[in-house]
């Protein structure tokens, strides 16, 4: 049979490490296997945790039996939800006049979760701002590189992680952006709970980063994936975004906002993208929304309805909002306690090296400092799964497995170089 030539010019691309690792974990039949790879919240029994407040909202919505619940929304998304998402992110305070002036700077659209918000923002900037370069932290969430590559924007990295001290490399970041970033470049910033390191700038450092962006005319692009989930406080986790917004009103910026972690809506793909104009350019806000809708229409037409309806239901009820804040405390507190438990076990075992960074880091992930060889040994010998970079999802730890994981880490640190 004669072969018909294809017109495609394709080559294999590497599989996504996180999803490949998760697949290997599920295929593993070892009774003591532990998943520290995928970034999802788990209970101390290692099971998913639909937030109790989300279950309450779902029951109320089912009782209401809204006939419109499966209908199309607008291209920009569910407009009441977008106002709620905006207010949650930017935390407006002060008099009504001040609030209206501030809100007039923000163009918001609904997206397919945080990934979709990052993608839409990158695509929008590549079309309409044409940044010469986007600066990503080294390391960063691996998908950031893919998103900006597909948007066609040249990518460079700024130092973020100091391996020897296992700390945030603030001086390296500032020096690189000061010396090498050019006017019009975009800078990707993690709003809180930096993925994968779990290391965030302190408030004084955030202020210095904002000053540098303003002075060098750089464009801040915030990725906010963990608001309320990291510290348990939505205000604390939005501090950097709100500082830039309130204190640099002549600087434009944007925010990709996810509701996957803080509402446990991983599969509902709920997110928003906010473009912030400077205070003298509020007249273009509606044009920005119009152009974002043009991209949305050609790609997915409109955001999913179910997840945003749940968020809207919760955040328009004082009772449910209070319940949500309590659920945030439950999740953030458990992760903090697992950090402490892992650290305490490693200290008890006298595991070589320093492990203080585990409790000094923040949010779901820890950059453990383990080498790729040690990571592979953990998987092959102990069936403990984490990324080859040494990034561990602390949510996968529990009172039942933390001693086992600690013993495994102690073994590979002592015996695998």
Q: State the Cα torsion 167-246-316-269 to the nearest 10°.
A: -50
CA–CA distance, 216 with 114 (Å, rounded to integer) = 28
Of the candidates 33, 56, 248, 261, the residue annotated as catalytic is 261
CA–CA distance, 269 with 300 (Å, rounded to integer) = 12
Active site residue 141: yes
Active site residue 135: no
Which structure tokens are listed for 11? Answer: 């080559």
CA–CA distance, 186 with 175 (Å, rounded to integer) = 16
Residues 365 and 195 sit within 8 Å (Cβ to Cβ): yes
Per-residue H/E/C for the chain: CCCCCCCCCCCCCCCCHHHHHHHHHHHCCCCCCEECCCCCCCCCCCCCCCCHHHHHHHHHHHHHCCCCCCCCCECCECHHHHHHHHHHHHCCCCCHHHHHHHHCCEEEEEEEHHHHHHHHHHHHHHHHCCCCCEEEEECCCHHHHHHHHHCCCCEEEEECEECCCCEECHHHHHHHHHHHCCCCCEEEEECCCCCCCCCCCCHHHHHHHHHHHHHHCCEEEEEECCCCCCCCCHHHHCHHHHHHHHHCCCCCEEEEEECHHHHCCCCCCEEEEEEECCCCCHHHHHHHHHHHHHHHHHHCCCCCCHHHHHHHHHHCCHHHHHHHHHHHHHHHHHHHHHHHHHHHHHHHCCCCCCCCHHHHCCCCEEECCCCHHHHHHHHHHHCEECCCCCEEEHHHCCCCCHHHHHHHHHHHHHHCC
Of the candidates 223, 237, 323, 327, the residue annotated as catalytic is 223
Active site residue 355: no
Point out the residues that are catalytic.
141, 223, 261
């Amino acid at each position: 049979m004669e072969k018909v030539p294809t017109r495609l010019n394709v080559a294999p691309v590497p599989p996504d490490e996180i999803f490949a690792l998760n697949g290997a974990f599920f295929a593993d039949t070892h009774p003591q296997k532990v998943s520290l790879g995928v970034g999802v919240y788990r209970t101390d029994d290692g099971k998913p945790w639909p937030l109790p407040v989300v279950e309450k909202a779902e029951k109320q919505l089912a009782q209401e039996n809204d006939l419109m619940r499966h209908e199309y929304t607008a291209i920009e998304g569910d407009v009441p939800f977008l106002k709620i998402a905006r207010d949650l992110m930017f935390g407006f305070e002060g008099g009504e006049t001040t609030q209206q002036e501030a809100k007039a700077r923000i163009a918001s659209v609904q997206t397919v979760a945080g990934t979709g918000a990052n993608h839409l923002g990158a695509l929008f900037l590549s079309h309409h701002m044409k940044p010469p370069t986007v600066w990503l932290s080294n390391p960063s969430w691996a998908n950031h590189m893919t998103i900006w590559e597909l948007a066609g924007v040249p990518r460079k990295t700024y130092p973020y992680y100091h391996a020897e001290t296992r700390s945030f490399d603030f001086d390296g970041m500032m020096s690189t952006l000061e010396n090498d970033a050019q006017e019009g470049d975009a800078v990707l910033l993690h709003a809180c709970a930096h993925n994968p390191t779990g290391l965030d700038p302190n408030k004084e450092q955030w202020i210095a980063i904002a000053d540098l962006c303003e002075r060098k005319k750089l464009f801040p692009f915030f990725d906010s994936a963990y608001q309320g989930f990291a510290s348990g406080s939505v205000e604390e986790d939005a501090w950097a975004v709100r500082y830039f917004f309130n204190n640099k009103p002549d600087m434009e910026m944007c925010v990709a906002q996810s509701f996957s972690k803080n509402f446990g809506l991983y599969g509902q793909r709920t997110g928003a993208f906010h473009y912030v104009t400077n205070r003298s350019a509020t007249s273009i806000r509606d044009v920005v929304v119009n152009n974002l809708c043009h991209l949305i229409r050609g790609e997915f037409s409109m955001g999913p309805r179910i997840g945003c309806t749940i968020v809207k239901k919760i955040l328009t009820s004082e009772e449910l909002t209070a319940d949500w804040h309590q659920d945030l405390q439950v999740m953030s507190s458990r992760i903090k306690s697992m950090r402490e438990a892992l650290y305490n076990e490693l200290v008890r075992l006298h595991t070589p090296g320093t492990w203080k960074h585990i409790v000094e880091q923040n949010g779901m992930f820890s950059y453990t400092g383990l080498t790729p060889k040690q990571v592979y040994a953990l998987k092959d010998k102990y069936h403990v799964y984490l990324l080859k970079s040494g990034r561990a999802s602390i949510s996968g730890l529990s009172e039942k497995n933390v001693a086992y994981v600690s013993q495994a880490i102690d073994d590979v640190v002592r015996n695998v170089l």
